Amino acid sequence: MTSLEQKILALVSQIPKGKITTYQIIAHKIGNKNLARAVGNALNKNPQLITIPCHRVVRNDQKVGNYAKGLAKKIKLLQNEGILINGEKIANFYSCLYHFN
């Protein structure tokens, strides 16, 4: 993995259970809000899906987004953490949104 990908995964490791963040927020945190796609690519390479909880990273439009193990698995993981899902959208998006310090 590249140093950028490692940095992204390190950030994702900080997202607490029951919280979500977006690809764009992570891209902004690493210094370039236009790197949201690079964030997604790094998460797709995640070797430790539960230890590094990439299921907690969602789209900026409140949709759940992709997951290496499939959409149904991501939805189930999020619901198990108290995230409310309506269709493919996060119903309690803003109350669960995590911003890095």
Predicted confidence (pLDDT) per residue in 17-70, tens digit: 999 999 999 999 999 989 999 999 999 999 998 799 999 999 999 999 999 899
Interior/surface letters 7-30, b for 16+ CB within 10 angstroms, e for the rest: bbbebbeebeeebbbbbbbbbbbb
Task: Tell me, yes or no, whether 61 lies in a domain.
Answer: yes
Task: Tell me, yes or no, whether 101 lies in a domain.
Answer: no
- Confidence (pLDDT) at 57: 97
Please give the tally of structural domains in the chain. 1
Task: Tell me, yes or no, whether 29 lies in a domain.
Answer: yes
CATH of the domain at 36: 1.10.10.10
**Distance of alpha carbon 93 from alpha carbon 12, whole angstroms:** 17
Give the pLDDT band (50/70/90) at residue 1. Answer: confident
Catalytically annotated residues: 54
Domain of residue 81, residue span? 3-96
